Amino acid sequence: MEIHSERAAVSTQDALDRLTNLAGEVLDVPVVCASIVDADHHLLASSYGLPVPAALLISYSLRLHVTASRKPLVVGDGRREPLLAQSPAVRDGTMRACVGMPLRTKDGRAVGTLLAMDPKPRRWTTPQLDLLGKLSALIVDEMELSGAVRRAS
């Protein structure tokens, strides 16, 4: 049974990586970071454009805010956003624009975030925000399906 569980975890990480990469490519942003706490309370993380540890460090305060509020965060220029203006990533130019989508389970629990970040200010479009919302739902669906597969194994 342990082999099935390991396969499910690898499959889940692969799916998370594919969805994170898709977001980066379709949105034409240099950095996307996804993080989620799975059914076994392990942190799964994926990053497009930066190594995972760097992306998690840069996005830390954003992830906390999005998870706590359970609402999307849309910022066109972090230098003009009081929540982000003092962030080291904004101050050094690593990130100016960002969108953070909460990853919520069917029962409404916030279990992670999907973040797109750009070092240049940008105007996020409704189709881009809709896409990130759909990808967020897909990530949660994949995690929940993976958890169900592990429980059935």
pLDDT per residue as tens digits for the range 13-58: 898 999 999 999 999 999 999 999 876 777 889 999 999 999 999 9
pLDDT for position 105 = 87
Average pLDDT, the chain: 87
Asked if 78 contacts 122 with a C-beta cutoff of 8 angstroms, the reply is no
What is the value of pTM for the model shown?
Answer: 0.86
Sheet of 73-75, strand order: 43-48, 31-37, 110-118, 97-104, 73-75
Reported as a pLDDT band with limits 50, 70 and 90, residue 106 is confident
What CATH number corresponds to the domain at position 111? 3.30.450.40
Domain count for the chain: 1
Domain range for 84 = 2-152
Query: 3-state DSSP call for residue 27?
Result: helix
Query: Residues 76, 122: contact at Cβ < 8 Å?
Result: yes
Query: In the predicted model, is pLDDT for residue 148 greater than 70?
Result: no
